[in-house]
Chain A
Amino acid sequence: MKKILFLIFMWIGFLFSTDKIFLFDMGSENSPCLENFIKITEKDMYQSGKYGWETKNCLSFDQNFSEYGVGSLDLDPLLRDLVKSNSSLPIIFSVDVSKGKYRVGIISGQIYSGNRLLAPSFWYSGGYIKLNDKKIFEKEGDFIKYAKFIFSNFEKDFLPGDSLFKRYILPYYNIITASTDETEKIRIEFSNFFPVNGIIIYPEEKIIEFNRKLEEIFENSRKYIDEKLKIVEEKRDENLIKKYKNENFLLFLTQYYEKLTPYSIPDEEKINQPVKKICAKGENITLSFGILPINDLKEVELEISDLISDTKEKISGKNATFWITKFIPELLRKSPDKYMIEEKYAIRYKKSDFASLIPRKILVLFEIPEDIKEGEYKGKIFVKSGNYVKELPVSIKVLPFKLQESDIYFGMYGKYPRSSLFRYITKEDKEFIDFCDILMENIFKEMRQLGFNWACIELPWNPLIIKGNAIEVTPVLKRWEAIYSLYKKYFPKAPFIIYGQISPVFPRGDVNIWRKTGFTEEIKNQMQMTADWISDYFEKEKNERDIAIYISDELSNYGLEGGKFGAEHASLIRKILEGKNIKLFASMNGVPEHLMIPYLDFSVINFDFPITEETITKIKDAGSKLVFYNIGNNRFSYGFYIAKLHPFGRLQWNFGPEHYVFYNFPSFPTLGHINYSLIVDSEFNLGKRLDVIDMSEGVIDYRYYLTLKNLIDKNKNTKNEKLREILNKAEGFLKYITESIKTDIRYYTKEASVWSGETCEKIRVMLTNYIMEVLNASK
């Protein structure tokens, strides 16, 4: 009997021993719980002798991305869900334990706010964690530090063998560990914004098991992501590498538009080939070459010499800047469990290490002075790693003419940076405002440098509000003033599009409200008040450029009803603005919006409007200006396609930044979706998106086309027979180019390769040759 009693006491003693380990997984009622963990929702309140929340201000959240439409990926049961404070007050989690010292591990992180537009407030806010009233973790709410962290994502390459989890998930989670003094209660306080994903508690003497458990947790989280998504590996031709195994690296010729992946191996005939380019005076050119490291390379440096012509004229090497393309993973649309690694943008080159056998593309951007003499300029690019140096010859042939300025407005849509990147930050201090304004100026400057002469920028909303019968100005108006003054500096002649809500009722209407009530007298009055105010505000400016209001956006998404609403809305605004010399601008993407054409000054249409001879005639007959938007982020749709149809303007979504937070930088779960992002490095310098470079080359193609066309027109009455013959040939060529292009750009959905970057480049060479022949014959 004594033995039995002894065993019972032993068993009870074991149950209440300091060996007790607690594993908590915080989350919502319906979200999964990690195996062998205790599920804690916001409703699990503390009871003496047990565990739970001491505070009632808890909120749980499940980061199930697929429900929010940003991707179908999710995280493992521990990291995907959390509990946090729903107010400005802290939350407290307590556990009653047997007397002793404990090791506590807290996993705290959030990757999704539940709103596609917003970053989790935890990312940019300060806060603390206290363990039994002692601060064990403190996080600064430093805006600049946060912005640097976000943009540093653009500087990192993602290469074969890298972990998606470590790159895109882990940096957003904190693992905080601390020990208690001897205690019978563990009390953890989290300031507001702090998410709690999980807590593990071990007796202090079991620190080895504790550390092992944390490792195991994160290894499981890693596997959950990395084993779910597979990289598409490509085969590499090893012959070339074997042949050059004694070299440190190879230099090869490649173009900005040629696809390079981490598995690419250059054609042997491209190795050590000189970089060559022809250009007009004053043209900004993009040269490129590749580096294939045979061994790992340390601290690779790039330099370029001055370029010297036969007549000893010089283009300074200082006119050149080096840029390196970065690899990021991109989910395959048709197999969303797989991803490829692609290059989509370039950032300014800094001394870097290169992994062996991963080819790198370097862009060399050159500003060719306007006042330079024609001729072939030769120089060298030097690539150095340690004591090993290689040279690559560079040759630029400067032509004896300048390109014609464009007679078409080429631009892109964009946004005031605060609108999306930092939408959640409410502070209005100078540091933050200056940051946004400087970024805005850099956007305009970059667009101008790329050759665009127009921009359509979404402004912060509601500089005006209506109170009763009066209009009140909000602090947003100051931002409008700053943006407009920058716009005038970089686009001195282009129309200014007021893109964004001016007051809560104007200009954009709501189809759903209109369906129920139509435009009420009250709404009409408020619209009229806003229109009068804005017309007065731009009174002087109206004489210097077109001031247009962006009244609606893709109403065909609502079907025929959208078109009917659009026509009534546009006709009402036209009436409201009568005699005020403010123009109407609408982006339209379908047949229902044809009803709007009679009321618009700028009919801005995409491929699905559609673009046909019939719709173009309809727009021109109505006296509306034809603008194409969203017909492709490529060279052809900014170049030779425009040469065929000669619209008033050409816009494309989007120079950046993007609306949704995850589309603004390489991140999870929107892997690879940075198609409309603003590329910024951690020093806040703008990068180069490869598609934007392609579009800007299209603008230059158009200017070559225009230069030749104007030369033909200028010489059309010539009596010089030789010149006449050349003009006929050149005219025939231009006609051939424009006639081989289909008006309906949807044709190129399946036939995109016909008008590749290479084709456009070659046509540009043909145009150059004709320009030279005409110039020579007309001397």
Chain B
Amino acid sequence: MHLNKFLIFLFLFKILFSSDFIILNWQNIKNLKDFSTTYDIEIPYVKIEDEKNMMNEVINKGCKIENFKVFPIGITPKFKSKAYICYDSENLIIYFESEKSENYTLKARKFEKEEGKVWNDDNFEIFIDPFLTKTRYYQIIINSIGQVYDSINYIEEIPDPKAADPRETKKNIIIDISWDSKVNYNIKVEKNYWAVVLKIPFLSFGFKNAPLGSFIGLNLCRNYWETSELLQWKLTPGEGGFHQPDKFGILKLKETDSKKMPLIFINNFYPGYGENLLYVDYKKIENIPEEVEVEIKIENNDTKEKFIKNEKVVLKGIEGKIKIPFENKLKGKNIFYYNIGFKNYNFGGIDFVDLKSLIDVKLDKQFLYYEEKSLNGKIRFYLGENELKKTELLISLNENSKREKIKGNFCEFKVATEHLKEGENIFSITLYKDKDKIEQYNFKIFKLPKIF
């Protein structure tokens, strides 16, 4: 409490002797990503020599997944499943097998159009979250006659319409069936089991070839309607059913001797509106220059408007950092994809940024008791790193104002309110770029009369 009083004293002292009515505390919020992700399985590189014998090759060389459990309670199933997974330079390859009873005819229908009804057939269901976003993932379902359903799904929190308060939210799944997985498959149906092998091109997820540096979210599920046993590799009981990417397993693509990888980090910036910078840190295996192709793709989630930039860069030295400028003129909910393409493998990254406006201002209060001496607020700037450098901020409260260069993408401020007049006061925040006003926010601050 002493400390609080002391800080208030310091604050008032500063205001009194500097004639500042506001103190700004600038910060740069970094877009730090979690690289400490552990994984459940590491899948091997397998060069498929003979397409016709693909099933056997995957079974012999792939990474085995078993112990599938019954959704949602986790007991051992009557009819079991297993899977083998591997990859080649262009595809993720999954062999999936399920037991069946000898006299049971698998339920399988042909569909005129893709609409998800294949889920009611006996099927295998695969969920892939290639960027480990835990909110945006791909879904592929295949039945025993090769009917495929594929979609890209997003999870968002929305007010629960059954709840008594809009602040109670629920997960809403947005399904976009326009995505085409371009999956290749072989199917085998025997008396007491059936199986499928799937080759899913990495290109369908935006990788030009195998994303060796990435961690990939994955879940494998099997639906068998004779016994109504729904099986899962990673159990996802609870709200959302199978659609809970935060509970998926994590796989890593195992390096091969010929494919020792450098380390790549796409990090420490928040993309925004205007001029941005992409930072890529690298640590290579050999100290020889290597050319990479950097692709930056920005896609507006609502309008599907796109912007793509490609640039070839030479990575010199064994380790270093490169900066690639790019411009974003799309507002709204944007997805930023980054692809660092080496000769035989890729590194990918993704960001979701909602650019509703250029800045977001929050005041902790607009009404002040007579005795209250200050108010706090914060500003988050949704501008690209280079754009920020060209922008200035003007803050004013009644006749007082302060203009200063922007020194970060986030700013906390404290405003002295002791000398405000009773009733209405105007507080405004204006953004300038090259002396042109680009955005302004006005707030009324009310000072309450003295009651007692």
Contact = CB atoms under 8 A, between A and B. Distances in A.
Given A607-B159, A758-B365, A762-B369, A749 B448 contact: no
Contact of B161 (A395, A590, A675): A590
A769 B449 contact: yes
A749 B451 contact: no
Contacts of B162: 554, 557, 589
A749 B169 contact: yes
A630 B165 contact: yes
Interface string B341-371: 0000000000000000000000001111100
A556 B162 CA distance: 10
B30 interface: no
A72 B164 contact: no
Interface residues of B, number: 29
A632 B165 contact: yes
A205 B1 CA distance: 64
A398 interface: no
Q: Is the interface of B mostly helix, strand, loop or mixed?
A: loop
Contacts of A608: 159, 161, 166
Given A589-B162, A608-B159, A631-B166, A276 B1 contact: no
Given A64-B73, A72-B237, A589 B161 contact: yes
Contacts of A64: 73
B166 A653 contact: no
A759 B238 contact: no
A239 interface: yes
A269 interface: yes
Contacts of B446: 762, 766
A746 B367 CA distance: 23
B167 interface: yes
A763 B159 CA distance: 27
Interface in A14-64: 30, 64
Contacts of A269: 1, 4
Interface residues of A, number: 48
B69 to A, nearest CB: 14
Given A66-B72, A608-B161, A765-B451, A759 B166 contact: no
Nearest to B166: A607
A397 B369 contact: no
A749 B444 CA distance: 23
A748 interface: yes
A304 B162 CA distance: 44
A749 B159 contact: yes
Interface in B158-174: 159, 161-167, 169
A752 interface: yes
B166 A745 contact: yes
Contacts of B165: 630-634
Which of B161, B238, B444 has the most CB atoms of chain A within a 10 A radius of its CB? B161
Given A653-B164, A749-B159, A766-B446, A278 B365 contact: no
Interface in A392-412: 395, 397
Contacts of A144: none
A185 B166 CA distance: 62
B334 to A, nearest CB: 19
Contacts of B7: none
A746 B166 contact: yes
A496 interface: no
B161 A749 contact: no
Nearest to A66: B237
B445 to A, nearest CB: 11
B29 interface: no
B452 A376 contact: yes
A267 B1 contact: yes
Contact of A763 (B72, B169, B367, B452): B367
A285 to B, nearest CB: 14
A654 B162 CA distance: 13
Interface string A89-113: 0000000000000000000000000
Contact of B73 (A67, A268, A632): A67
Contacts of B369: 762, 765
Interface in A731-759: 736, 745-746, 748-749, 752, 758-759
B14 to A, nearest CB: 20
B285 interface: no
A676 interface: yes
Nearest to A751: B362
B367 A762 contact: yes
B63 to A, nearest CB: 30
Given A66-B72, A278-B451, A654 B164 contact: yes
B24 interface: no
Contacts of B73: 64, 66-67
A267 B446 CA distance: 24
Contacts of A752: 167
B235 to A, nearest CB: 11
B10 interface: no
18 contacts: A66-B72, A376-B452, A397-B451, A554-B162, A589-B161, A589-B162, A590-B161, A608-B161, A652-B164, A729-B423, A736-B444, A746-B159, A748-B167, A749-B159, A759-B365, A759-B367, A762-B365, A762-B368
8 closest Cβ pairs, A-B complex = A268-B1, A762-B367, A608-B161, A653-B164, A607-B166, A630-B164, A589-B161, A632-B165
Interface of B: 1-2, 4, 72-73, 75, 159, 161-167, 169, 237-238, 365-369, 423, 444, 446, 448-449, 451-452
Given A67-B73, A607-B161, A607-B166, 7 more contacts: A72-B238, A239-B2, A557-B161, A607-B159, A632-B167, A749-B169, A762-B368
